[in-house]
């Protein structure tokens, strides 16, 4: 791949990866340890990911079990979950914290799908902005260096094909997540 295009391909790939992470953190009525990825707990004065201070496992399809390595972290982890936007009340027995995921209502599912589509749309806008930046840089190339109009046109075509590919990937990711959420 042309090095003038490679940097834009990398940026578009990062946008797609970011979307995948965001979609992974959307709760689909099933227990998914990734919903805890954004949460941080105070571990000796340092904000730390829950997965770094506790074992997180899925004993049942709709339950997460968090077992801190230090008993003193139970309250800290519980506080982080309560103050987050997860909307789940943790239960603890002093050693283990359990998160039970309620079955999603039809209305909540539709809200989540709408939210997912919005995230997908934002990702598409980001990809298109990268395409615009690429085309702008190619136009500057034609003014500053000895690059023919045909070469510029070819570069723009390659970036357009790349853009179409990434937008299609975004659509596929959004459709897959939407189907997963609407499946009862």
Q: Model's pTM, two decimal places?
A: 0.69
- Report the pLDDT value the prediction gives residue 184, as an integer from 0 to 100: 60
All structural domains of the chain with their residue ranges: 3-24+105-182, 33-100
Please state, in angstroms and rounded to a whole number, the distance separating the CA atoms of residues 54 and 74: 9
Report the DSSP beta bridge partners of residue 34.
none
**Same fold for the domain at 3-24+105-182 and the one at 33-100?**
no
Residue 138 has pLDDT above 90, yes or no: no
Classified as helix, coil or strand, 20 is: helix
Average of per-residue pLDDT across 9-33: 82
What secondary structure letter does DSSP report for 105?
P
5 — pLDDT class (breaks 50, 70, 90):
confident
132 — pLDDT class (breaks 50, 70, 90):
very high
Mean per-residue pLDDT over the chain, rounded: 85
Residue 175: which of 119, 123, 117 has the closest Cα? 117
Identify the CATH assignment for 3-24+105-182 out of 1.10.3470.10, 1.10.10.60, 3.60.130.10, 1.10.132.20: 1.10.132.20
CATH tag, 33-100: 3.30.1360.40
């Amino acid at each position: 791949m042309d090095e003038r295009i490679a940097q834009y391909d990398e940026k578009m790939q990062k946008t797609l990866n970011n979307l995948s992470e965001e979609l992974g953190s959307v709760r689909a009525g099933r227990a998914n340890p990734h919903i805890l990825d954004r949460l941080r707990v105070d571990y000796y004065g340092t904000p730390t990911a829950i997965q770094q201070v506790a074992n997180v496992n899925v004993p049942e399809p709709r339950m997460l079990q968090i077992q801190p390595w230090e008993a003193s972290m139970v309250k800290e982890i519980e506080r982080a979950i309560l103050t987050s936007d997860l909307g789940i009340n943790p239960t603890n027995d002093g050693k283990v914290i359990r998160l039970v995921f309620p079955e999603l209502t039809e209305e909540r599912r539709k809200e989540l799908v709408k939210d997912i589509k919005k995230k997908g749309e934002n990702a598409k806008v980001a990809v298109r902005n990268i395409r615009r930046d690429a085309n702008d840089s190619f136009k500057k190339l034609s003014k500053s260096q000895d690059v023919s109009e045909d070469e510029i046109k070819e570069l723009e075509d390659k970036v357009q094909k790349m853009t179409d590919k990434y937008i299609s990937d975004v659509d596929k990711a959004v459709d897959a997540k939407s189907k997963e959420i609407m499946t009862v």
